[in-house]
Amino acid sequence: MGTKKVLTSLVLIALLLAPALSVMAQDGPVEAEPGHELNMILLPKDPGNPVFVEAHEGAMEAHEELQNPGELIFTGPSPENAIPGQIEIITSGTTEGVDAIMISANAYEELVPATTAAREAGITIVTWDSPVLPEGEDLFIAQVDFSETGVVMADMALNLLGEEGGQFAILSATPDASNQNAWIEAMQEALASDEKYANLELVDIVYGNDVPEDSYNQALGLVDSHPDLRLIMAPTTVGIAAAAKALQDEGLCGEVLLSGLGLPSEMESFVEAGCAQEFALWSFHDLGYLTYYVSYLLASGQITGEVGESFVAGRMGEYTIEEDPNREGGKRVLMGPFSLYNADNFDEWAGGAEEEEAAEGEDEGVALDGDALINERCTVCHTRDRIDAQDKDEAGWTATVDMMISFGAQLNEEERAAVIQYLVETH
């Protein structure tokens, strides 16, 4: 081989190796360069669920911090149209040419054709909270390790039921929710593999579709179907609050115990009443913040999403992309950690709630506008479409509003009356 050919070959090799060498030569984790214009969709399972509202707030914090002049679009399906609705939004985002779609998936497999088409169109697909099949995503932002979640649930059941154990049942969200299915499976594996759980008897698994009314009725059904039931385990923030309300209404608080995954602000009154003994959760605000940071870095080309790559996610610090031990071929960023809540640390996590309520009560600028109140207060747990699709008389709307208040809707007497009047006059 001539000298010229050798030199040419060496140049080509150097060019091919340059990107890899550049990555290897990086001094420390990647720090985000702000100001890239990216249009991004945050797609939760249900935009009205309080935990996803918190995730949106976290994503907005990151959006502003990174000075992205593009749009952050927060949208999602109604509970009645959970899977087709997410597919429609993903497809629409692909057609519109957004830069990134961040998905808490309502189904593990069904969304993959839509997410694959989006990726082929050059759109970054990051899942969070609940993933899809690895081939349908670039990366998964895991709130906690799924196996750990199952063990935490088993430990809470053991802590409440004691060594004598007894019967318990699981009230989950939907049969298609990959995260909750994985948690339940991990819990079952823990129960079967560790002798300390030997006296815990899982007698039933039911689904409330993450709808308060459905979850409420499923909780009542569990109590009726299993007279010896000692505990309901609800790994869903909607389900645990609905189950607590069902037990409260039936006078069963303390007789049938309650645990699972709950949002502290939604569970305060139930803890005070002795209707919720112990539950766990992580910060959805932080989860939204971290998800946005990762998606921004990927969509702007500042990271590649490869295993071993490290980056800094603003105030949350340094993270490293790793193989997902729970999903073959999957890659994840693990946020963590869990927080456990019970009556013993009630004051710690509920601190400031009364002050916040008092401040809201002093706000004289809140107009008693039924339409505005519905948009502000009643869509926290479900979309507006669910309300507008119904046609009821005054008695029917009164019963519905009172039920929603019992589930946690924040309406005083004057606001309640304004909402009922508006619904009667317009629906």
Confidence of residue 18 (pLDDT cuts 50, 70, 90): very low
Name which of 374, 359, 363 is nearest 404 in CA terms: 374
Give the global pTM: 0.72
- Summarised one tens digit per residue, pLDDT across range 381-394 is 555 666 776 777 77
Report, as an integer, the average pLDDT of 395-414: 69
pLDDT of residue 411: 75
Residue 288 predicted with pLDDT over 80? yes
Q: How many CB atoms lie within 10 A of CB 138?
A: 20
On the question of pLDDT at 237 being above 60, the answer is: yes
Q: Where residue 336 falls among pLDDT bands split at 50, 70, 90?
A: confident
Mean pLDDT of the chain: 86
- Lowest mean pLDDT segment, chosen from 169-183, 184-198, 306-320, 377-391: 377-391
405 pLDDT band, cuts 50/70/90, is low
Angstrom CA distances, 66 to 97, 102, 333, stand at: 21, 17, 19
Q: Which CATH superfamily is domain 146-280 in?
A: Response regulator (3.40.50.2300)
> Is the link from the previous residue into 325 a cis peptide, with omega within 30 of 0?
no
Question: Is 188 strand, coil or helix?
Answer: helix
Task: Name which of 141-150, 272-281, 352-361, 388-397 the model is least confident about.
Answer: 352-361
**Residues 164 and 142: beta-carbon distance below 8 Å:** no
CATH 3.40.50.720 matches 365-426: no
The model's confidence at residue 26, banded by pLDDT at 50, 70 and 90, is low
How far apart, in Å, are the Cα atoms of 400 and each of 241, 320, 375, 408? 17, 47, 16, 13
In this predicted structure, what is the pLDDT of residue 383?
A: 55
Q: Which residues contact 396 (CB under 8 A, 6 or more apart)?
A: none
For residues 335 and 293, is the Cβ–Cβ distance under 8 A?
no
Q: What's the rounded mean pLDDT across residues 75-91?
A: 94
Query: Which token pair is 227?
Result: 């007279």
Statement: residue 419 has pLDDT above 70? yes
pLDDT in tens, 323-334: 999 899 999 999
Per residue in 94-129, pLDDT (tens digit) is 999 999 999 999 999 999 999 999 999 999 999 999
Q: Give the residue-averaged pLDDT of 315-338.
A: 94
Indicate the SS3 state at residue 25.
Answer: coil
pLDDT at 408 over 60: no
Pairwise CA distance, residues 266 & 268, whole Å: 6
Q: Is the pLDDT of residue 168 over 50?
A: yes
Tell me the pLDDT band of 379, cut-offs 50, 70 and 90.
Answer: low
Handedness of CA 345, 346, 352, 355 (dihedral sign): negative
Encode 253-288: b = buried (16+ Cβ within 10 Å), e = exposed. Answer: beebbbbbbbbbebbbebbeeebbbbbbbbbbbbbb
Q: CA 124 → CA 43, 109, 341, distances in Å?
A: 13, 18, 36
Classify domain 30-144+284-333 by CATH architecture: 3-Layer(aba) Sandwich (3.40)
19 or 340, which is more confident? 340
The edge-to-edge listing of strands for the beta sheet with 124-128 is: 72-74, 40-43, 100-103, 124-128, 139-142, 331-334, 322-323
For CA atoms 251, 255, 260, 266, the dihedral sign is positive
For the chain, what is the radius of gyration of the CA atoms? 24
- Residue 378: phi and psi, rounded to 5, are -90, -15
Identity of residue 248: Q
Confidence of residue 346 (pLDDT cuts 50, 70, 90): low
The residue count of the chain comes to 427
pLDDT band at 343 (very low <50, low <70, confident <90, very high): confident
- Give kind and range of the element (H or E) at residue 339: strand 339-342
Task: Indicate if the pLDDT at residue 12 is higher than 50.
Answer: no
Number of helices (H) and strands (E), helices first, in the chain? 16, 16
Structure tokens at 419: 């909402």
- Give kind and range of the element (H or E) at residue 51: helix 50-65
Q: How far apart are CA 128 and CA 131, in angstroms?
A: 6
- Which of the residue ranges 172-181, 183-192, 202-211, 238-247 would you say has the lowest mean pLDDT? 172-181
Is a pLDDT exceeding 50 seen at residue 366? no
Gap between the Cα atoms of 368 and 418, Å rounded: 6
Which of the pair, 12 or 301, is modelled with greater confidence?
A: 301
For residues 210 and 225, what is the distance between their CA atoms, to the nearest angstrom?
21
Instruction: Please report the pLDDT score of residue 161 as a whole number.
Output: 97
Q: What residue segments make up the domains of the chain, in order of their start?
A: 30-144+284-333, 146-280, 365-426
* Same CATH fold assignment for domains 30-144+284-333 and 146-280: yes
User: Which residue type does 69 have?
Assistant: P
